[in-house]
Chain A
């Protein structure tokens, strides 16, 4: 099956610094990538949708200047959390999709961000 990787799997950073998370589709070209945030014992919350070569579409309430998304190629999307604060601590999951009838998404293993 299709594989999506995320790096790093776990990161701890100090308040005020920026953190970049990478999402890669390893064996297919992803026309669309998604970024989700998941709080403990809760469901996934969609943050933004990005298509290769175009600006990301952010969900309501998500600060686009704080969560910078770049989708530079069909296999790579990055999420940068700028000026991180403790409330940004969360589990971030990306997913990738290629076109087709099922529009199935393949999920990365997630990145645990802790801001101290």
Chain B
């Protein structure tokens, strides 16, 4: 069985400062891991994905995440926050086969001018 825990329900940063959104996962299989972003009243947009290739994954809009098997973590980072990054972020895990995605509860990112 798969599960994912987003350690912070809300993160607030100042514009131009680094962003860290934390995610820990549990999986019986070699997992695929994703980060999605959702702006208010919008659908989900894929930021990046890990699928057992390089452990440091680069995504869109300057985001990246590092898969650390020993820590069962997949934290999302960005060097410098922009106002447009304010949104809800979901860490998601998928196991093998046709299993559904398992979503974390989400982290709301606020960016202060």
Task: Check A104 against B34 for contact (C-beta < 8 Å).
Answer: yes
Q: Cβ of B42: which chain A residues have Cβ within 8 Å of it?
A: 109-110
- Which residues of B3-38 are within 8 A (CB) of A? 32, 34, 36
- Which residues of A1-58 are within 8 A (CB) of B? 1, 4, 6, 32, 34, 41-44, 46, 49
A103 in contact with B32 given A43-B103, A43-B106, A44-B103 (CB within 8 Å): yes
Task: Check A110 against B41 for contact (C-beta < 8 Å).
Answer: yes
Q: Cβ of A42: which chain B residues have Cβ within 8 Å of it?
A: 105-106
Size of A's binding interface in residues, CB under 8 A? 25
Task: Check B98 against A91 for contact (C-beta < 8 Å).
Answer: no
A105 CA to B43 CA in the complex, in Å? Answer: 12
B17 CB, nearest partner CB in chain A, Å:
24
Is there a chain A Cβ closer than 8 Å to B67's Cβ?
no
Q: Cβ of A112: which chain B residues have Cβ within 8 Å of it?
A: 41
Closest 5 CB pairs of A and B: A109-B43, A107-B44, A107-B43, A110-B43, A102-B51
B contact residues vs A (CB 8 Å cutoff): 32, 34, 36, 41-46, 49, 51, 90, 94, 98, 100-101, 103-106, 108
